[in-house]
Amino acid sequence: SRAVASVRLGIADPLATAAAETGLNGRILLVEDRPNVAERLQSALSAFHAVEVESDAQQAVIRSAEGEFDAVVVSLDLQGQDGLRLCSQLRSLERTRNISVLLMGETEDRDRILRGLEIGAHDFLLRPIDRNELLARVRTQVRRKRFTERLRDSVQSSMEMAVMDQLTGLHNRRFMDNRLAAMFDESALRARSLSLLVLDIDHFKSVNDSWGHDVGDEVLREFADRVRACTRGIDLVARMGGEEVVVVLPDTGRDAAYCVAERIRERVENAPFAVQNNTRDIKVTVSVGVSSRRAGDASSADMMKRADDALYRAKASGRNRVIV
């Protein structure tokens, strides 16, 4: 049922992926200042992992922050250095927070090992260290770290999917609805201008009918790119569904918004859309309705209504035009 839930959420099942993994070779930083001990542990770990040795605790923090280590194995018996402090530094730094930390200590170090686990070490090993136990515990921690990363990546990508349109890479309608309401309130509060463009490709149905749905999709992607190229970073561009795109322009009055719309219209009309690996050029035009916030507007819905009406008039009066 976990797999089913993951599918429903649109994320890969990280546990299943981890289980399918072979090898599991990690990058390990071994913090140990006695050369003979370090050498013995390194040779044991090297059978499965890439191991680097560091004798200085401060240097170990720096190297952990720079390198892509999966696990740091820290001796609590470093001469004149505090392995626990190293442990808490690794936990507190953004770059190293997720690295697995394993402590190594003598049986009499029990109290310090417990402190270490409290401040975020993941596991520990008691000396004399058994080779197989070392390998087993390190392997577990490499897997834990990889699992956490995969989970984080899939959560991030499903959050992106929730607000992005998959075909064009523009924002989706849901995101637009939320953001537009906020942008409207903000512009009203600060008495700043705000404009809205509603764009709709002309006779798009005939593109699909003549060339097929896949070509239609390619045209939509190229259309989205051209709209994006005509807008600023602070503008919000969203695909509202079908071949309709909305652009929200903060701090932009009616005349400037008209210019942006006209620039988009020209950019669509002036160069044919190269599709199917440039084997075909398809000519497309777009109609645009423009509206700007007025003092009497109760919400962004009022602006949206005027832009839709303007778009309707642009269509009715011959298409390939901008109407404010």
Binding window for ligand GH3 (CB under 6 A); candidates: 17-25, 92-100, 173-181, 201-209: 201-209
Establish if 205 lies at the interface with ligand GH3 (CB under 6 A). yes
Residue identified by tokens 């200590």 is: 105
Establish if 200 lies at the interface with ligand GH3 (CB under 6 A). yes
Beta bridge partners of 124: 103
The two structure tokens encoding residue 23: 């090898």
| Minimum distance from residue 48 beta carbon to ligand GH3 (Å) | 48
Find which of ligand GH3, Mg ion, none residue 63 binds, CB within 5 to 8 Å per kind.
Answer: none
- For the question of residue 243 being annotated catalytic, the response is yes
Establish if 213 lies at the interface with ligand GH3 (CB under 6 A). yes
Residue type at 18? A
Establish if 314 lies at the interface with ligand GH3 (CB under 6 A). no
Q: Binder to ligand GH3 among 88, 140, 208, 320 (CB under 6 A)?
A: 208
Give all strands of the β-sheet with 123-126 in edge-to-edge order.
50-54, 27-31, 71-75, 100-105, 123-126
Cβ-count burial 105-141 (b if 16+ within 10 Å, e if not):
beeebeebbebbeeeebbbbbbeeeeeeebeebbbbb
Find which of Mg ion, ligand GH3, none residue 174 binds, CB within 5 to 8 Å per kind.
Answer: none
How many residues belong to the chain? Answer: 324
Nearest to 292 by CA among 212, 204, 195, 202: 195
Binding window for ligand GH3 (CB under 6 A); candidates: 10-18, 61-69, 174-182, 204-212: 204-212
Establish if 203 lies at the interface with ligand GH3 (CB under 6 A). yes
Site for Mg ion, rule CB under 5 A: 200-201, 204, 242, 244
Q: Binder to ligand GH3 among 35, 120, 169, 242 (CB under 6 A)?
A: 242
Establish if 173 lies at the interface with ligand GH3 (CB under 6 A). no
Find which of ligand GH3, Mg ion, none residue 220 binds, CB within 5 to 8 Å per kind.
Answer: ligand GH3
* Residue from 54, 218, 222, 243 carrying the catalytic annotation: 243
- Is-contact 249 184, C-beta < 8 A? no
Q: How many CA atoms lie within 13 A of 313 on its CB side?
A: 12
Count CB-CB contacts under 10 A for residue 52. Answer: 15
Annotated catalytic residues are 243
